[in-house]
Amino acid sequence: MQIGIIYTTDKKAIEKLAGGLKRGLEEQGSTVLMFPDNAESFRGLASCKHLFVGTYVTSIFKAKTPLKLRDALNKVPGLAGKRSVAFAAGNGLGNRKALLSLMNDMEKQGCFIIDQRSFSSEKDAYEFGKAIKLK
């Protein structure tokens, strides 16, 4: 099964979480394609059955999806109907709002949200990637 991961490049922590997810998902036998929000092309993403999208907390009180990530989601073709997981770094204040904002932006593109998670470390992301059951 092919899985795509789109993540924001504003924070290195998100890239590490995406790497942990990738390793865990690959241990299940999936092929994982990684796409930073500043990628020139999102070639291959349309053929992915599942999509993971990573963000961070921009503000504790009025969280928004980072602009580069929102723009990337807007220009990716074929997101409608993708079974998707939103993830964020940390477990502090504002994580829930950051995830809600990201999920709202994903749903505007037609993504079907199946889960949302906050990870405090690369190991947490790896364990989740290794354990999640995707259909």
Range of the domain at 92: 2-131
Mean pLDDT of all residues in 24-49 = 93
Q: Quote the pLDDT of residue 77.
A: 84
Share of the chain above pLDDT 90, in %: 70
The number of distinct structural domains making up the chain is 1
Token pair, residue 94, equals 């504002």
d(CA 31, CA 135): 14
Using the predicted structure, report yes or no on whether residue 60 has a pLDDT greater than 90.
no
pLDDT of residue 135: 81
Measure Cα distances from 39 to 35, 66, 90, 119 in Å: 6, 15, 24, 24
Phi/psi-derived region of residue 42, left when phi > 0, alpha when psi is between -120 and 50, beta in every other case: alpha
* For range 120-134, the mean pLDDT: 94
Q: CATH number, domain at 37?
A: 3.40.50.360
